[in-house]
Structure 1
Amino acid sequence: MADGSRMAAWEHWGAELKYRRELAGLTQNELGRRVFVSGGYIGQFEQAIRRPQLDVAIRIDEVLQTDGFFERAWRKLIDDKRYPDYFAAVAELERLATKICEFAPMIVPGLLQTPAYAHGIMLAGNPFAADEYIEEKVRARLERAHILKEATRPVYWAILHESVLRVPVGGPAAMAEQLKRIATLARERKMLVQVLPYAAGAYPVMGKMLALMEFEDAPPTAYTEGVYSGNLLDDPAVVKRAQEAYDLIRAASLSPEASLALIESAAEDYRRCETTT
C-alpha cells in the first residue's frame, strides 16, 4: 500500500472510531479510560496523528461492541504478514519518525543490518526453516533500512554495546562487511554512532534493546524487546524514564570519533581473520 493510500486509510480508521464512539455516547476521555489510554490519545487516533497498538484496537472493539472491526482494519493497515504482531506497529512508526535513537546490547539494529548479517541472525533463530522463509524475513528487514537512504530520512543515533562488535554473526566476512557499512554511514553523516565499551560496566536497562522515536505531530514513544515479545510504550512518564536511561548510556559511551575508530579497527580484525582461514 502506498504511503498516501495508507494515510487515507488511517484517516478513515480514525473517522470511523469517532463515529462509533459518538454513537455509543462516549467522550474521548471516557473511551480512553475504558481502553486504558488517555483521552488525548483517542483524539490523536481519530485525527490519524498516532497509530494505536493492536491491543488497544482490540479493546476498542470490546468497548464499542464493533465485532472486531477495528482489529481487522488494524491488521490490514499494518500489514503484519511481514512482521510479528508485536513489531508491526514499530515498523510503521519508523517510517513516520523524525528522530530515532537506538541502543543495541548484543546485535546490530535492524535498520543497519547488511544482507549477510541479517541472514545469519534469521538462520540462527530459525535453524529448521526453509530457505524461502529465511529470505523473505531478510527482505522484510532490509526494506526497513530504506528510510535511511531517503532525503527525508530521520535523524538516526545508534549506541552499540561493544558486544555487538565482538559477536561474529555470519562469520568474519559478514562481520567485516557489516561494520564497514556502519562506519560508512557514520562517515557520510547519515547517522551518529557510539560504542558503550565493556569497561563501562553496568548500565541502565541492562541487556535490553531500547528504541526512542520522535514525531512531528505526535508525542514520542519508546520500544523495548524481549524473547518473541515487544513493548511499545507511549505513557509520557515511562517514555521520559526511557529517555533518561538512554542519556545515561550515551554519557558512558565513547565519543563518536573514538567509537568510529573502534568499529573500523574491529572490521579490520575480521578482514585479517578472513584472509588467514
Structure 2
Amino acid sequence: MAKRKDLDPSTSSRALVGEELKHARERNGLSQTALGAILFVSGSYVGQMEAGIRRIRPEFGPQLDDALGTGDFFTRTTKSMAKSKYPDHFAEAVEAEAEATEIREYSPTLIPGLLQTEAYAKAVFRAYNPLASDASIEEDVALRLERAQILDNPTTPVLWVILDEAVLRRPVGGPAVMAENLFHVAKLAQEHRIILQILPFSVGAHPSMEGSLKLMAFEDAPPLSFAEAPGMGRLLDDPAKVNQHAMLFSLLSASALSPQDSLALIESVAEDYAHEEQH
C-alpha cells in the first residue's frame, strides 16, 4: 500500500485532497483494498489517489462522501479538480509523469513527447489534426514543451528511452526538423540526463511489436504503466500487467544497442539529415 510523506505548504491541491482521503479512510478503519472495493478499483488505485499521483475522478466523489461520512467534501472538490489543460484520456498520465521518479519508455514510431523540439512537435500535431487552426496547434505545442520542463531537474526523473530505428528514419517535418531534434536527444544523452538506446531493424521480431510501452515508478506509491492508442489512453495499476510490461521493456533493452552505440547511431543519422538539408 502507498505511504505518503508529510506534506509541506507548497504541495499541490491534488496531493492535499489525497491526504484528506487517506485521513478519512483511516478514520473509518478501512484499508485501501476495502475502499477500492467500494469504488470498484484496486487498492493500488486508492494508494495512487492518496499519494496525489492520480486525481480522484468526479464520479467517485459522492461514493466517497457516503462511505467516509465526509458530507459533500469529495463531491465538491473532485468536480473542481476535474478540469485539465490536457485531453481527458491523457490528463492522468501527465499528472503521474510529473510525480514519477523513474520513467521507462519504448517508442516505435516517433520521438517521445518529453524529448520533442518545438518544430517536431508542431509537425506531429499538424499530422494528427490537419484541419486544426494554427492557434490550436500552437497551444498543443506549448503544452508539450511545458511537459518537457520536468527534465530541467538534473537528476529526477530518471528517463530511460528506447527508440525503434524507425523513429530515426521517418523524416517528421523534413530533414532540418529531424536533424535538430535528433541532435537535441543526443545532447541529453551526452550530458547523462537520459539513458538512450536504439532498437535496430536488424533485431527483427521483438517483444513489443504491438505498440509502445511507458512505465512510471514513484517514491511512495505503486508503479504504473500507460497504454495509449490514437485518441485514447489508460493508466494501468494491475501488478501483473505492470510487471508484464516491465519484463517486455527489459527484453527490449537486452536486444537494443548499447547506450554508446545508440548515441553514435543517432548522431550519424542527425548528421545525414543536416547534410541533406544543406544540399
User: TM-score, normalised on structure 2?
Assistant: 0.85
User: Within 2, Cα distance between the matches of 1:15 and 1:134?
Assistant: 37
1:61 aligns with 2:65: no
Other-structure match for 2:104: 101
Aligned pairs for 1:121-270 (under 5 A) are: 121-270=124-273
Other-structure match for 2:54: 52
For residues 43-92 of structure 1, the C-alpha deviation after alignment (integer angstroms, 9 at most, x for no partner) is 5534xx143356x552453565669535413314xxx22x1111111111
* Percent identical: 45
User: Within 1, Cα distance between the matches of 2:115 and 2:200?
Assistant: 19
User: Within 2, Cα distance between the matches of 1:129 and 1:200?
Assistant: 38
Residues 237 and 218 (structure 1 numbering): CA distance in 2 closer, same or farther, change over 3 Å? same
User: Within 1, Cα distance between the matches of 2:90 and 2:122?
Assistant: 19
Once the two structures are TM-superposed, the CA of residue 36 in structure 1 deviates from its matched residue by 2.6
User: Within 1, Cα distance between the matches of 2:9 and 2:228?
Assistant: 30
Matching residue's letter, 2:88? D
Matching residue's letter, 1:239? V
> Out of 67, 70, 75, which is 2:82 matched to?
75
Higher relative contact order (CA 8 A, sep 6+): 2
Q: CA RMSD in A?
A: 2.5
Once the two structures are TM-superposed, the CA of residue 22 in structure 1 deviates from its matched residue by 8.1
Other-structure match for 1:42: 46
Question: Is the Cα–Cα contact under 8 Å of residues 17 and 52 in structure 2 kept in the other structure?
Answer: no
User: Within 2, Cα distance between the matches of 1:155 and 1:132?
Assistant: 33
User: Within 2, Cα distance between the matches of 1:218 and 1:19?
Assistant: 16
User: TM-score, normalised on structure 1?
Assistant: 0.86
User: Within 2, Cα distance between the matches of 1:238 and 1:226?
Assistant: 17
